Homo-oligomer: A and B are copies of this chain.
């Protein structure tokens, strides 16, 4: 197996003069990308960082983000990509939890600056990397070394640093190469944010084959289509909301998108109707559903040529286990279930994380006998096509972001007027699922007041899109547990959105 350094090394040796990254007016060759990675490694070394030290980044997509993503692990350090949509409180939690020594950011670091030894602002980045001698990459780095901590969730205990090694991410690169069949002729549009597994799903793979990265700083359907046309983008992955917006824009103001041969989506449920609209405007592209998790680096299953299945039962599937990944459905004891039986989706392979940072209990719960227990409920058909039916974990996937219900409930309960609160996902054409809350108040309170209250505590995307204030008590089990499923059910009845992504 290989490390990040080997991936960069191959690209600069085989395609030194070919374009590696296009980012606005900046075009870097593979040799330049490699050299800038060596410079960043040198600058971090000069700051006193050594083997295994953590380097956090909070930033929009850019060539500098890609350099950081590649160079930090290649230098034997550990990358900590943080969610740019998080509040300072949430970022502070992750910075402290990871013990990050450096923060690279394109925003005012504010109070976060005090938490790390060094802040590298995007405006200073080029000067910083030019200030120290370039360092060799990959020296004494082995495949079992930690490459990054990838945080899921927010401020509460639900937020965990997923530990991925070089082996994990290199394995995923192979899974991506085999699944998407990328070559040096491909140009990959980075559409999803790079702090997400969806945004970097093809990063190593694209560099390894000597392909091109085309950066989209922040999502905008018109800008995405303009880049597809001008940079001859061949492949990309988006969350469903992005694909829906692109389909609308392309239908309204068509560009030449004939270069696109591979169009994948993941991160949250997608409606078949959205797929139809995307397919109508990208008639030459193979569409692919990608299902996975940060914990699986991320690919678990793939549904190739999804466009051939819009009218059959497979349109509701997440696809088959990727080559290199084992997927089973298991009961609570971990026993593999038969075809058609619903259980928890379990995933095994060289891509599966080594654990959660400083969380031995959650790690032991999530990793059992080498299998990652995803928390998703589903079944496999007789050809191992995976169909998800629900999530075992109390979690919503909204616009590609995981929202842990307890965290939102905690925010609501902090308001003095809230007596009972239940948070769950409801189908939403734009977000796949929308965060929905039902609240029983102690004394009259407006939904809007509760939303403003939440917004001060948790990231915008976690704040309920609707808060239903009711006077009658919430339905409860004999043991007094709120029966959230009873509350959810009416919203999902007869709905054709697939779970998954």
Contacts and interface: CB of A to CB of B under 8 A. Distances in A.
Interface of A: 1-2, 6, 10, 13-17, 174, 177-178, 181, 183, 208-209, 304, 320-321, 323-324, 326, 349-350, 382-384
A304 B14 CA distance: 13
B15 A383 contact: yes
Most buried by B among A15, A181, A209: A181
17 contacts: A6-B326, A10-B321, A10-B323, A13-B383, A13-B384, A14-B320, A14-B383, A15-B383, A17-B383, A174-B178, A174-B324, A177-B323, A178-B178, A178-B209, A181-B181, A183-B304, A209-B323
Contacts of A16: 382-383
Contacts of A1: 1, 350
Nearest to A177: B178
State how many copies of this chain the complex holds. Answer: 2
A324 B7 CA distance: 9
Contacts of A304: 183
Nearest to A209: B323
Most buried by B among A174, A209, A304, A321: A174
Contacts of A320: 14
A1 B10 CA distance: 21
A324 B383 contact: no
A34 to B, nearest CB: 13
Contacts of A321: 10, 13-14
A435 to B, nearest CB: 35
Contacts of A2: 324, 349
Contact of A14 (B10, B208, B209, B384): B384
A79 to B, nearest CB: 22
Most buried by B among A208, A304, A323, A324: A323
A362 to B, nearest CB: 26
A326 B9 CA distance: 10
A208 B350 contact: no
Given A2-B349, A178-B209, A209-B323, 9 more contacts: A10-B321, A15-B383, A17-B383, A174-B174, A174-B178, A174-B324, A177-B178, A177-B323, A178-B178
Contacts of A177: 177-178, 323
A324 B3 CA distance: 10
A75 to B, nearest CB: 19
A383 B16 CA distance: 7
Nearest to A18: B383
Contacts of A15: 383
A17 B381 CA distance: 13
